[in-house]
Structure 1
């Protein structure tokens, strides 16, 4: 049962991605793969600059990046806001709202940091705050 929540979150994310792809009759065009400290040490896969899958030592998560924008400065720094869900291998699970910034280091390489208010729904409802740091390479 404990591993079930992480599988559920990943399964919902894959379902959302495949529904989007089938509805638009297209394949995801932008793939990014990287590492992050999110669910402890994690692998990050991002598709179409909107669908972020995280699998780590502590659990899994899926984020839908709903809005992106650029800061009005010369540096290649952007912001994003998303909505997602997470599950830990110990049974905790919930929803989260990632609020982040990303920096384009060089062609293809990007680093990001985010804070996310989290609603833990495992044993009642408890509001928490999480954070993540990561690096991705866009293909």
Structure 2
């Protein structure tokens, strides 16, 4: 448990140092690891810290639909998650982004998960969040 806490703290500090160099920083709230705080850097790295645990997603590919009537963009990523009860695993977020205005963004995703603690098990998770760009 202490190792997990130290890892999350180091990742948060690293993200904060990187975000000071890059003006594309988003912060917000999500329902991911229960109620969670979200930090997104450079539209590519998403850190989530919540009541149930922590998660990190690397958004590998983004795209848009070729229809002007569809206000959403899509994304695919890879990531990992860990719960405070020592459960952990890998996940693949598949999501939709909705840019409400220049600074406000809403996203939703489903993420197939591979639990790696104790026994290997496939699961399906989901997240819904709102971020604000500074």
Pick the TM interval, shorter chain. 0.7 to 0.9
| 1:127 lines up with 2:122 in the alignment | yes
| 1:50 lines up with 2:54 in the alignment | no
Quick one: distance in 2 between partners of 1:119 and 1:126?
A: 6
Q: Alpha carbon RMSD of aligned pairs, Å?
A: 2.1
Q: Is the 8 A contact 1:6 1:86 kept in 2?
A: no
Change in 2 beyond 3 A, CA 1:98/1:7: farther
User: How far does residue 5 in structure 1 lie from its aligned partner after superposition?
Assistant: 3.1
2:32 to 38, 63, 68: 38
| 1:4 lines up with 2:3 in the alignment | yes
* Partner residue in 1 for 2:113: 118
Q: Which sections of structure 2, spanning at least 5 residues, go unmatched? A: none
Q: Using structure 2 for the length normalisation, give the TM-score.
A: 0.87
Q: Using structure 1 for the length normalisation, give the TM-score.
A: 0.84
Segments ≥4 residues shifted beyond 2 Å: 3-15, 26-29
Quick one: distance in 2 between partners of 1:10 and 1:119?
A: 24
* Partner residue in 1 for 2:75: 80
Q: Which sections of structure 1, spanning at least 5 residues, go unmatched? A: none
